[in-house]
Structure 1
Amino acid sequence: MSHFRLLFITGVLASTMVLSACSSSPTGRQQVLLFSDQEMSQLGSQSFDTLKKQEKVNKDAKTNQYVQCVTDTLTAQLSPAEGFSDWEVVVFDSKQVNAFALPGGKIGVYTGLLNVATNQDQLASVIGHEIGHVIAQHSNERLSRSQMTNVGLKLSSIAISGTDYHDAAMAGLGLGVQYGVLMPYGRAQESESDIIGLRLMAQAGFDPNESVSLWKNMNKASGGQQPPELLSTHPSHDTRIDDLKAEIGRLPAYNATRPQCRL
């Protein structure tokens, strides 16, 4: 078979695969999702099990109860998910000011975040944002892009340890090679998760205005040091705050009971 004919056939197959996998995100953004919910849930669960073995898990009952309360209040607003039945949250002892959520309903919160997210509403803003990544299938989207640019990548061959696909799988989930080092999603995905998380926290009864306060705290905690927006996959703090304020103005009135999660 000639090189040209091989390229042509590969292009036709790739185009067919992309067209058959086209989908829309919760905000209406077009996506290509090549993997099933079950496949992504299995991958997320494998990753989370590995993280729990390698990271120090926080055992403080009050801290865990607080984070669980915020998470449960948020996830109670969600419809049953495909690929898993329950959300699991684990608190990790780390100075990292961060959190993550993986396919399969796995949520990790670092204790360093609790020094910056100073109340239940600000914590709900972060966890809601991370849940937004799962709801919008951003890991599937990123891994699908890897599939299309790396012909040899097959999800059926991916396991979290002991395979050639380890790094690609972890990157697709946003976790990086060194566990605990979170890799940013693209700007469109980050902004989309901001919107989803904001809607979710407001629906659950949390104060969406506290999402703005959170990012002011984030800016203060970083000492105002952030790369220029054009050099970062994340929106700048100022852009993020402006976008959140605009979205807050568009939120409908929710009649949710005010949560009572306290540390």
Structure 2
Amino acid sequence: MKKAIFLSIFILILSCATNPFTGKKTLAFVPNSQLFPTAFAQYDQFLSENSVEKGTSRAEMIKRVGERIAVAAERWLDANGQQGYLKDYKWEYNLVVDETVNAWCMPGGKIVFYTGILDVAQNETAVAAIMGHEVSHALANHGQQRMSAGMLQQLGAVGGNILIKDDQSRAAFNQYYGVGSTVLGVLPFSRKHENEADKIGIYLMAIARYNPDEAAELWKRMGARSSGQAPPEFLSTHPSSETRVKNLQEEAARAKEEARKFGVTSYRPLGKF
């Protein structure tokens, strides 16, 4: 058992990557060389099963904003000694006809916006805030980390069931482990990723010449739309709208300062649609 524990610790140490935006070590049990091709295949399958809006001004806007955010990301990474970091990313931006208020980015840079989120965005700058957030999930390898954390959670469950011999105690462990590891581990881990993506995203949108002040305004609209429907923050995968607005308002000035390093001193019009 001791050998197994030491071996597990050794594997954990080897299975870490460095987040270029935070400088912190992160879990990376599944390498991107395996993760990206799987994500790309799943993305293609999703597109084949859904209605993709093509050739419209809205669809072109999604692509335009995505390309600008991707360029901003590459400029930031190159300026911070991370040349070549994006070599395996295959950026793609699609607008899917669906009233769901959501957008997402798969590992490796495959992005979907649902048409339903455009009603809340209201302008191109807000779309840039959403795009920056979603792109940041991919850049910071949050999908890779979530998979790794899930594997670690399962490993803990298996270990507990092996070590606990008494049936009654094992049943109690299984009952409380699932809830405890989720509330105390998985959910805070997810909220941390959302906060990271907000912070990275607001920097990227500013470097792409979109006014970062609009990010907080977007989340005010999001909060008004979901008022009374969201669970308490500690039981959610996402920070509350109030938390996000406060954090984004505080980060906006720093994002503008960072953008000035790249020669950005003015921003594009909101681009209402």
Q: TM-score, normalised by structure 2?
A: 0.76
Question: Can you give the 5+ residue segments of structure 2 that lack an aligned partner in the other structure?
Answer: 75-83, 156-186
Amino acid at match of 2:22: T
SS in 2 for 1:91: strand
Within 2, Cα distance between the matches of 1:210 and 1:50? 34
Amino acid at match of 2:225: A
Within 1, Cα distance between the matches of 2:6 and 2:35? 26
Give the drift of 1:145.
1.9
Judged with a 3 Å threshold, the aligned counterparts in structure 2 of structure 1 residues 82 and 70 are, in CA distance, closer, same or farther, namely closer
Question: Can you give the 5+ residue segments of structure 1 that lack an aligned partner in the other structure?
Answer: 1-6, 152-182
Q: Percent identity?
A: 31
SS in 2 for 1:122: helix
Q: Which stretch shows the higher mean deviation, 198-207 or 246-255?
A: 246-255
- Larger radius of gyration, structure 1 or 2? 2
Matched residue, 2:223: 219
Q: How does 1:173-192 map to 2 (within 5 A)?
A: 186-192=190-196
Matched residue, 1:62: 57
2:69–2:208 CA contact under 8 A, matched in 1: yes
Indicate yes or no: 2:116 matched with 1:126: no
Aligned residues: 226
Q: Pick from 238, 244, 251 the counterpart of residue 242 of structure 2.
A: 238
Matched residue, 1:142: 146
Within 1, Cα distance between the matches of 2:71 and 2:206? 13
Task: Pick the structure with more helix per residue.
Answer: 2
Within 2, Cα distance between the matches of 1:86 and 1:22? 23
Amino acid at match of 1:24: T
Q: How does 1:62-141 map to 2 (within 5 A)?
A: 62-79=57-74, 80-82=84-86, 84-141=88-145
Q: TM-score, normalised by structure 1?
A: 0.79
Give the drift of 1:89.
0.8
Within 2, Cα distance between the matches of 1:60 and 1:219? 31
Matched residue, 1:15: 9
Q: Deviations over 1:48-84 (max 9, x none)?
A: 0121122221235211111111111111122354462
Judged with a 3 Å threshold, the aligned counterparts in structure 2 of structure 1 residues 225 and 112 are, in CA distance, closer, same or farther, namely same
Give the drift of 1:259.
4.4
CA RMSD after TM alignment: 2.3
SS in 1 for 2:94: strand
SS in 2 for 1:109: strand
Amino acid at match of 1:126: I
Indicate yes or no: 2:51 matched with 1:47: no
1:37–1:82 CA contact under 8 A, matched in 2: no
